[in-house]
Structure 1
C-alpha cells in the first residue's frame, strides 16, 4: 500500500499543529514495513522536516521574507502535487489541508481527509482571520472524501453540527505527542527559570482567550508577588499586550520565551501549572505536552479539552474570571494537589501516542482498499 500526502500544511509555515500532525504520522509510518508513502513537496521551510529523510524538498530561508515568496512556493508546490496525483502511483490520497485543487485530477482513487476543528465555522463571523469563507470548500471535501478522520469526539460532533455528513463516514482517531520521548533525558532536564511561574503556551489571539485569562489572574499575581506568567511561543508580545501588562503594573512579571521542543519541555517541567483558557480546541496537543513534562494542568471546560484531560486536570469556565482565578490559585498554592495531577497526567498520557494514531490511521487506509 502506498499513500500520497500533499504539500499544503508544509508550505509557508515553519511550525504548526497541522503540519506537526502529518509529520508525526509519516515519521511513525517510516518505521513500518507494511506501508509506503510519498510527500509531494518541493519548497518548504518547515522545521519538523529537517529531522527526517523522507522529504527531499528545498529550503528557501533567505527568500522567505520577500513579498509573495510563500505564495510563489505554494503555487509551485501545488503544481508538483498535481503532477504526482495525476501520475497515479499511490493507493490512497491524504491532503494535508482544505483545498480542492486536486478534485478534478484524483479520479476514482480513494482519499481521506482529517478534520481538526470547526473554528472557522464557529468563529468565522466574529474572527474572520480564523478562516471565514472555508465552509463551502470544507463541505465539498467532506462530502467527496471516502473517510473523514476526526481528531476527537468533540470534533466529530462539530462536523455533524455544521455539515450534512453521514456519521458512519467519520472515524475518531486521537492525536499523540513525541515530547514524552524526551522526558528525563539528560539533554533536556536543565535548570528552570529563577522564579515560580504559570505557563501559557501558543498563540494568544482571538478565541485563544489570552486577554480574558490575563485579566482573570491579575488578582492571583497580586496576592502572590513571587509568581510570574511565562508565555511559551506564539510570537513576541504586541503593543496592545505590552500596554495591558503595564496598565496592570505586572510588566516585569510577564515573560515571553521562544521555544524549541527541548525548551518547551523544560518550561513544562518547571512550571507550577500549565493553563489552557481556550474557548475552542479540536484536540489540544499542549495538554499532552504538559503531561509529558510532568506539569499540573488547569483547563478550560470547553470543547475537546475535558475529553483529552479527563480526570488529570482541574477545570474552569473560561468566560468567568472568578472561575479561572480560583482554579489557578488552587493549583499553584497546593503542592499535594499538584503532585496528584502529575501522577494522573502521567497515567492519562499512556492512552495517547503518535504510533497509536498511525496504527489506527493505517487501518482506515486499509479499509478503503
Structure 2
C-alpha cells in the first residue's frame, strides 16, 4: 500500500500542530514494512522535516520572512502535488490541510481527511482571522472524502454539530507525542531559567485565552513573589502584551522562550505546573507533552481537554478568574497533589503514542482499498 501526502501544512510555517501530526505519522510509517508513502513537497522551511530521509525538499531560510516568497513556494508546491496526484502512483491520498485544489484531479482514488477542530466554526464570526470562510471548503471535502479521521471524540461531535456528515464515516484516532522519547536525554540538564515558574506553551491570541489567564493569575504571582511565568513558543510578545505586563508591574517576571523540542521538554521538567487556559482544543498535544515531562497539569475544563487528561489534571473554568487562580494556587501549595498529578500523568500517557496513532490510521487506509 502507498499513501500520498501533499504539501499544504508544510508550506510557509516552520512549526505547527497540524504539520507535527503528519510528520509523526510519516515518521512512524517510515519504520514499517507494510506501508509506503510519498510527501509531495518541493519547497519548505518546516523544522520537523529537517534532516529526515523521507523528504527531499529544498529550504529557503534566508527568504522565509517574505510573504511573497512563501506564496510563490505554495503555488509551486501545489503544482507539484497536482502532478503527483495525476500520476496516480498511490492507493490513498491524504491532504494535510483543507483545500479543494485536488478534487478535479484525483479521479476515483480514495482519500481521507483529518478533522482537527471546529474552532473556525465556533469562533469564526468573533475572530475572522481563524478562517471564517473555511466552512464551505471543509463541508465539501468531508462530503467527498471516503473517510474522516477525527483526533478526539469531542471533535467528532463537533463535526456532527456543524456539518451534514454521517457518523459512520468518522473514525476517532487520538494523537501521541514523540517528546516522551526525549525525556531521558534531559533528565540531568539544568533548568533553562534560574527561578520557579508556571509554564504556558504555544500561541496566545484569541481563543487561546492567554490574556484572560494572565489577568486571573496576577494575584497568584503577587502572592508568590519568587514565582515567574514562562511562555514557550507562540512568537515574541506583542506591544499590547508587553503593555499588560508593565501595567500589572510584572514585566520582569513574564518571559518568552523560543525553544527546540529538547528545550521545551526541559521547561516541562522544571516547571511548577503547566497551565492550559484555552477555550477550544481539538485534542491538546501540550497536555501529553507535559505528562511526558513529569509536569503537574492545570487545564481548562472545555472541549477535548478532559477527554485527553482524564483524572491526571486539575481543572478550572477558563472564563472565571477566581476559578483559574484557585486551581493554580491549589497545585502550587500542595506537594502531595503535585506528586499525585505526576503519577497520574505518567499513567495517562501510556494510553497515547505516535505508534498507536499510526497503526489505527493504517487500518483506516486499508479499509479504503
TM over 0.5: yes
Contact 1:230–1:257, Cα closer than 8 Å, also in 2 = yes
Number of the residue aligned with 2:333: 333
For residue 70 of structure 2, give the secondary structure of its aligned residue in structure 1: helix
- Checking the alignment, whether the CA contact within 8 Å between 2:3 and 2:92 is kept in structure 1 is yes
Q: Secondary structure at the match of 2:311?
A: helix
Does the CA-based 8 Å contact 1:213-1:321 persist in structure 2? yes
Deviation at 1:271, TM superposition (A): 0.3
What is the correspondence of 1:38-53 to structure 2 with a 5 Å cutoff?
38-53=38-53
Alpha-carbon distance change, 88 to 130 in structure 1, aligned in 2, over 3 angstroms: same
1:332 deviation in Å?
1.1
Compared CA separation, residues 64 and 192, structure 1 to 2 (3 A): closer
RMSD, aligned α-carbons? 0.9
Deviation string 1:67-110 (CA, Å, 9 cap, x unpaired) is: 40100000000000000000000000000000000000000110
The alignment partner of 2:351 has SS state of coil
Specify every segment of 5 or more residues in structure 1 that has no aligned partner in the other structure, as ranges: none
Structure 1 position 192, deviation (Å): 4.3
Residues 188 and 266, structure 1, Cα contact 8 Å, conserved in 2: no
- Tell me how many residue pairs correspond in the alignment: 369
CA–CA separation in structure 1 for the residues paired with 2:164 and 2:71: 32
CA shift digits 1:251-272 (9 cap, x unpaired): 1111111110011000000000
Q: Corresponding residue for 2:223?
A: 223
* C-alpha separation in 1, matches of 2:175 and 2:312: 17
Distance in 2 separating the partners of 1:256 and 1:334: 27
Aligned partners of 2:186 and 2:254: how far apart in 1?
A: 29
The Cα shift of 1:63 comes to: 1.7
Structure 2 portions without partners, runs of 5+: none
Aligned partner of residue 51 in structure 1, secondary structure:
coil
Are 1:118 and 2:144 matched, yes or no? no
For the residues of structure 2 that align with 1:67 and 1:135, how far apart are their CA atoms? 25
Deviation at 1:189, TM superposition (A): 3.1
**2-side partners of 1:190 and 1:261: how far apart?**
16
SS at 2:50 equivalent? helix
For 1:256 and 1:249, how far apart are their aligned partners in 2? 17
CA distance in 2, matches of 1:208, 1:278: 4
20-29 vs 67-76, greater mean Cα deviation: 67-76
- Aligned runs of 1:149-188 on 2, under 5 Å? 149-186=149-186
In structure 2, how many angstroms separate the alpha carbons of the residues matched to 1:245 and 1:98? 37
Q: CA deviation at 1:184?
A: 2.1
Give distance in 1, aligned partners of 2:80 and 2:188: 39
Q: Deviation per CA, 1:111-161, whole angstroms, max 9, x where unpaired?
A: 000000001100000001111100000000000000000000000000000
Q: TM-score, normalized by length of structure 1?
A: 0.99
Q: Structure 1 residues 172, 105: closer, same or farther in 2, change over 3 A?
A: same
Q: Which residue of 1 aligns with 2:18?
A: 18
Quote the offset at 1:191 in angstroms: 3.0
In 2: Cα distance, 1:44 partner to 1:186 partner:
29
Structure 2 CA distance for aligned equivalents of residues 345 and 302 of structure 1: 19
Q: Provide the C-alpha distance between the structure 2 equivalents of 1:66 and 1:17, rounded to a whole number of angstroms.
A: 22
Cα separation, 1, equivalents of 2:61 and 2:28: 27
The TM-score, its normalising length taken from structure 2, stands at: 0.99
Given that 1:182 and 1:188 are in contact with CA atoms closer than 8 Å, whether structure 2 keeps it comes out as no
Give the SS at the match of 2:122: helix
Q: Which residue of 2 is the match for residue 82 of structure 1? A: 82
Shifted more, 280-289 versus 47-56: the winner is 47-56
The corresponding residue for 2:366 is 366
Map 1:1-369 → 2, pairs under 5 A: 1-186=1-186, 189-369=189-369
Deviates more, 1:151-160 or 1:185-194: 185-194
Contact 1:4 1:39 in 2 (8 A): yes
Conserved in 2, the CA contact under 8 Å of 1:188 and 1:262? no
Q: Is the 8 A contact 2:186 2:262 kept in 1?
A: no
Residue 185 of structure 1: SS of its match in structure 2?
helix
Change (3 A) 1:187 1:272: closer
